[in-house]
Structure 1
Amino acid sequence: MSNCDRTPQLKSLMQQAGISSFKALSRAAGVSERQILRLRRGTLEQMPLDVLLKLCQVLKIPLSELVASFLVPSLSPYCPLSPVPSPQEIADLKKEYERSQLQLEQQREILLQEFQQSSLQLLESLLLQWPTAAQKAQENPQLAAVKILPLVQKPLEKLLQAWGIEAIAPVGAELPYNPQLHQLLEGTAQPGEIVKIRYTGYLQGDKLLYRAKVSPIG
């Protein structure tokens, strides 16, 4: 199939999806700029299906529309006429797309099941012992909460450790106020002033999940 300039069609789709540049499209879709150049040159038939699917997802269009935009001959003076793909070729691409979508859905389901299984293993002691402990607490209101606390605390700590999640600081700690990590529950505080942790926050690596809730001292 002859090469032609499909840049105007791609720019139009990018504008509709709010994508400002080819480099931004490359990053968002997770495909190389070489593949995007192939699309612009009208050589879609040479591109891997997984690349086309990624571009469809970012551009928010079905595969059939991508095929129509980049395989069907354009009236642009930069694009000489080329053979129109047969209905069978388009139908085959559609079937391949549907098959790939089904595979992706099955992979998501498998990953979800594996995630749930690994989490259940970390919480095993809590799942097995907590119902009995809760029943004993209902039967004996005088039962000290400190005896039940380890049933919750240890599995939770193990789960957070497995996920790489760390507390910003323990409850009750006093430390300099950092507005990026701390949220004031009341009053005011300037960065560097000592505050007290009321509810701990969490970090996952360099990512902030929840800011710790703090109160000014004095």
Structure 2
Amino acid sequence: MNQQSQHLQKLMQQANIPSFKQLIHLAQVSEWQIRQLRRGNIAKMRVENLEKLAKALHIPLTQLIAEFSPSPTDRPTNIDLQQECDRLHQQLDRQQETLKQDFQHESLQIIESWLLQWPTVAIAVQKNPQLPAIRLLPLIKPIEALIEAWGLTAIAAVGEEIAYDPQWHQLMEGNAEIGEIVKVRYLGYCDRDRNLLYRAKVSKIAPPSSL
């Protein structure tokens, strides 16, 4: 085992991390990143991964960079470390801005037809309140496509009758027992990993009136 691996294991022990697999899980980095750190190839690693590892190990980013430089003669001074951290943060900011712009561009492409048509339709509705609502439904298709592109999934459908689960459903009024049949009034959403974003709003179903 080389010196870098031994040093990493020492830091892991101090942070109560029992294995490299656990470090990968805590830092949310790949096995390749850990191998690079153990081999002293820190220069090949991206700043966001270094920050994740430093956070998992409970040490400053500057310390991580200093301690895993290839050799003592190559280790940077405090000034060099600060300059490198500043450079890495600037690089990360640029990457985040690029990702943000790409995300906005892709989203705008999906809803382009809605952006172009909706203002005109809104004015037409104001001038003619009797305009059939069904004629407006096709304009919502781009929004539905955007939601799908983001990986969002609706929790049931409006009007659907489902078993009440407070984890996924928000009762609009009154009380309901878990498993009791309720009706969906407003959609809720979760992401592709089934992480809840908004609970579906539901209401109790009125019992049939007796004659």
Which TM-score applies when normalising by structure 1? 0.68
Q: Identity, % of aligned pairs?
A: 45
TM alignment of 1:99-138, pairs within 5 A: 99-138=87-126
Q: Number of matched residues?
A: 194
Counterparts in 2 of 1:53 and 1:187: CA distance versus 1, 3 Å: closer
The one of 45, 48, 63 aligned to 2:42:
48
CA distance in 2, matches of 1:85, 1:189: 69
CA contact (8 A) 1:53 1:97 kept: no
CA distance in 2, matches of 1:140, 1:171: 28
Identify the residue that residue 144 of structure 1 maps to in structure 2: 132
The one-character-per-residue Cα deviations of 1:124-176 (angstroms, maximum 9, x if unpaired) are 1110001111111222233333323432x211111122222222222111122
CA distance in 1, matches of 2:41, 2:73: 15
Residue range with higher mean Cα deviation, 90-99 or 158-167? 90-99
Give the CA RMSD over aligned residues. Answer: 3.6
Counterparts in 2 of 1:53 and 1:198: CA distance versus 1, 3 Å: closer
Identify the residue that residue 179 of structure 1 maps to in structure 2: 166
Say whether 1:203 aligns with 2:201: no
- Secondary structure of the structure 2 residue equivalent to 1:167: strand
Residue 188 of structure 1: CA displacement? Answer: 2.2
Counterparts in 2 of 1:66 and 1:145: CA distance versus 1, 3 Å: same
Residue 215 of structure 1: CA displacement? Answer: 1.0
Gaps of 5+ in 1: 72-82
Counterparts in 2 of 1:111 and 1:180: CA distance versus 1, 3 Å: same
- Secondary structure of the structure 1 residue equivalent to 2:197: strand
- Secondary structure of the structure 1 residue equivalent to 2:165: coil
Bigger Rg, structure 1 or 2: 1
Gaps of 5+ in 2: 207-211
Counterparts in 2 of 1:32 and 1:91: CA distance versus 1, 3 Å: farther
